[in-house]
Structures are given as structure tokens and as C-alpha cells.
């Protein structure tokens, strides 16, 4: 069972459709109690980082923290990936999960158009089962104005104005800045890889 967290800020319908297309048994979590028995978790996200405050208010943050601690695989998408970090300058008073210690910051606006919207290339930075069967240089679909820095946990980068983390992973905790549910064959392959590495 794949448990997709609904906190009224995600691209929920498209993510559910993509996972079901891949044959996954999918449930939607709106209460933290649902995550107590989750076998893998997906956190989508579109829009403002401040929306993640609902995760704190609902108790979802602690439930996700406990799930990760007991080894439940996790995939954050777009804002869901950014939430894995300490926080974002988009909402300075709203903390992230803090699984990764760095801050998410906005693209500088004096070079290219911001936000970064459209197809761009993934350049692999490390081997990962999440990217198995995908070639470095293939394209994924992005739409965002804030981005995570390149760190030791970065498994793929993309360049827009400057390199940023397109995907990150530590153990079974993964994040992708792009939208795999909108990234055609490449995105579906990455979602399938997550399902296979997590045996959901």
C-alpha cells in the first residue's frame, strides 16, 4: 500500500493517477493515525512552502518522523522534497522536517525568468536505485521558484541559472524537485523504482 499524504497543497489527483497506472495499491492519508501502519509514504506538494504548516497542525509531521525512524520509505515531490530540509526562505517562520540540514532558497532573479517552468535535464550525481533505468541527461518537468542546494545527499542535479538538487536520497528517504507524475516515461520509471525499492 502506498500512502499519499493529503494536506491540501499537493498535486494529489495526478500523483494518485500515476501510481495507480503503475498498478500500486494506493491510499490517501488525511489524519496522522493512518501513517502508523503505512508501508511507504508519498508527500506531493505544489505552491507555497507555508502550506506545510498544515502538516504540523494536523500531527502529520510527527507521524512522518516516526514512520521514517522505523524505516518506512518516503518520497517527497516538489514542495514535498523541500520540506525534507530545515526550512525555506519562502516561509522563514515555517520549519521543514529537518531531515536534511540545509535551507531551501529562491533562484536569483537577475539572470533568467523565475520561476523555472518546463522540461530540463537531469544530471546524475550519484548511483541510486531511484534512478535505475534512467539515463543521465534525460528530461523531467519542473515548476518552482525555490530550490534545494547540492549536497552529499544529492543524487541528481539540474542547471537553471546555477546547479540545484533535482533529486536527493539518504537511505530510504527520497525527494525529487521535478514532478514525476508529469514527466512522461522518465517520471513513471522513477515512481516505479520507488515502489520497487520500497516493496509497496
Taking the CA of residue 142 as centre, how many other CA atoms within 13 Å lie in the half-sphere pointing to its CB?
A: 25
> 77, 15 in Cβ contact below 8 A?
yes
Q: How far is CA 179 from CA 67, 168, 173, 175, in A?
A: 23, 14, 17, 10
> Which residues does the annotation mark as catalytic?
78, 179, 181
One DSSP character per residue, 45-105 reads --S-GGGGHHHHHHTHHHHHHHHHHTT--EEEETHHHHTTSSEETTSTTSB---SS-SEEE
Amino acid at each position: 500500500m502506498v500512502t499519499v499524504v493529503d494536506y491540501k497543497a499537493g498535486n494529489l489527483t495526478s500523483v494518485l493517477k500515476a501510481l495507480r497506472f503503475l498498478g500500486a495499491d494506493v491510499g490517501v492519508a488525511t489524519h496522522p493515525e493512518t501513517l502508523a501502519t503505512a508501508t511507504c509514504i508519498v508527500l506531493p506538494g505544489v505552491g507555497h512552502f507555508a502550506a506545510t504548516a498544515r502538516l504540523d497542525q494536523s500531527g502529520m509531521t510527527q507521524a512522518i518522523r516516526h514512520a521514517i525512524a522505523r524505516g518506512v520509505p518516503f518520497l517527497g515531490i516538489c514542495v514535498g522534497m523541500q520540506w525534507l530540509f530545515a526550512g525555506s526562505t519562502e516561509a522563514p517562520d515555517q520549519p521543514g522536517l529537518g531531515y536534511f540540514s540545509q535551507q531551501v532558497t529562491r533562484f536569483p532573479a537577475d539572470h533568467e525568468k523565475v520561476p523555472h517552468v518546463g522540461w530540463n535535464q537531469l544530471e546524475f550525481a550519484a548511483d541510486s536505485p531511484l534512478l535505475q533505468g534512467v539515463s543521465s541527461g534525460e528530461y523531467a518537468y519542473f515548476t518552482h521558484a525555490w530550490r534545494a542546494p547540492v549536497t552529499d545527499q544529492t543524487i541528481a542535479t539540474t542547471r537553471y541559472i546555477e546547479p540545484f538538487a533535482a533529486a536527493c536520497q539518504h537511505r530510504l528517504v527520497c525527494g525529487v524537485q521535478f514532478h514525476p507524475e508529469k514527466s512522461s516515461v522518465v517520471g513513471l520509471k522513477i515512481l516505479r523504482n520507488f515502489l520497487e525499492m520500497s516493496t509497496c
